[in-house]
Amino acid sequence: MGRQTRSTPAWRLAAGAKQNGVRIFENQEVKDLWRTPEGLYQLQTDHGVIEAETLVLACGLWTRDLAARLGARVPLYAAEHFYVVTEPMDFIRPKLPVLRDTDAHVYLKEDAGKLLIGAFEPWGKPVAMERLPNTAFIELWEDWDHFELPMTKAIEIVPELANAGIAKFFNRPESFTPDLLFMIGEVPGLKNLFVSAGYNSEGIEYGAGAGRALAEWIVAKSPQMDISFVDVARFPPPFRSTSAICTIARRRCPACTIRCIGRVISRTSRGVRKSALHDRWTRLGASFGEGMGWEGPIWFAGEG
């Protein structure tokens, strides 16, 4: 999300939390965490041990590995996420609307008199956690070859971009989930262990509502609204393997076309759940897609 200043939404949320009695300890690396026989959670930091009755893992990319130390399998995988910012351009105005072309996998928006060109490209670049530096704010290497498709399409939409200078090529890792929806809720089998992660680069957009839903769940001991579609418990076992999630991160789709037909999990994760009608659909020429592990017909091919 970049370095935090007093003007960022994250800083303002933190300031509001402090006004309501929340204590925030910054720059403390979690070295290890475990669950005690009494059901409490303890975190070993470089500043000592913190103990909690309720633990929320809202750690972005690192949520999967931290959860694994407690025996929980949280299906997340990191992928490189790109955007570029141009030099100032004369025609850019502060209230320009965001322009998004889902067929071209590109979006454009005003950014302080400049134009920001971002992408949810059709074939993402997974990045293994061990390749990431152990820092809070990560910037990865440029990859103009990978960004060629969205940039080319952006120039078709705004021809002036062909002659624009590029002030910044930004590449950061983002964590992605099997169905491109975030996950919140209590981890099955681990009482008072909650997760809030997998926002697929849209954390600020969903953060306030997801935070409220999770807080109400923790206080009331059960969900106070129907959040089954983002419940961390919704994923069947095939979606929890690292290889399957890596494939998902590679073949991610634009956020507004989540259910596009081209999305696949992996060969090893297909055919796991079949309806009683599966064989009949097959005989009728069904071309199958997948939803939460279930095979279902997308369309039927006619004879020949």
| Residue 239 predicted with pLDDT over 80 | no
Residue type, 241: S
Q: Do domains 28-76+178-235 and 79-175 have the same CATH topology?
A: no
pTM: 0.75
Stated as kind and residue range, the H or E segment containing 173 is strand 166-176
Q: In this predicted model, what pLDDT tens digit does every residue of 54-111 receive, in sequence order?
A: 999 999 889 999 999 999 989 888 888 899 999 999 888 888 899 999 888 899 999 9
Per domain, the residue ranges of the chain are: 28-76+178-235, 79-175, 270-300
What distance in Å separates the CA atoms of residue 275 and residue 271, rounded to the nearest whole number?
10
pLDDT at 157: 93
Q: In this predicted model, what pLDDT tens digit does every residue of 18-47 receive, in sequence order?
A: 999 999 988 888 999 999 999 999 999 988
Fold of 28-76+178-235: FAD/NAD(P)-binding domain (3.50.50)
Neighbouring residues of 283: CB distance < 8 A, sequence distance ≥ 6: none
Length of the chain: 304
Q: In this predicted model, what pLDDT tens digit does every residue of 52-61 receive, in sequence order?
A: 999 999 998 8
Q: Which of 253, 250, 287, 286 is nearest to 266 (CA)?
A: 250
- Calculate mean pLDDT across residues 129-147: 84
Provide the pLDDT confidence category of residue 11 given band limits of 50, 70 and 90.
confident
The domain 79-175: what is its CATH number? 3.30.9.10
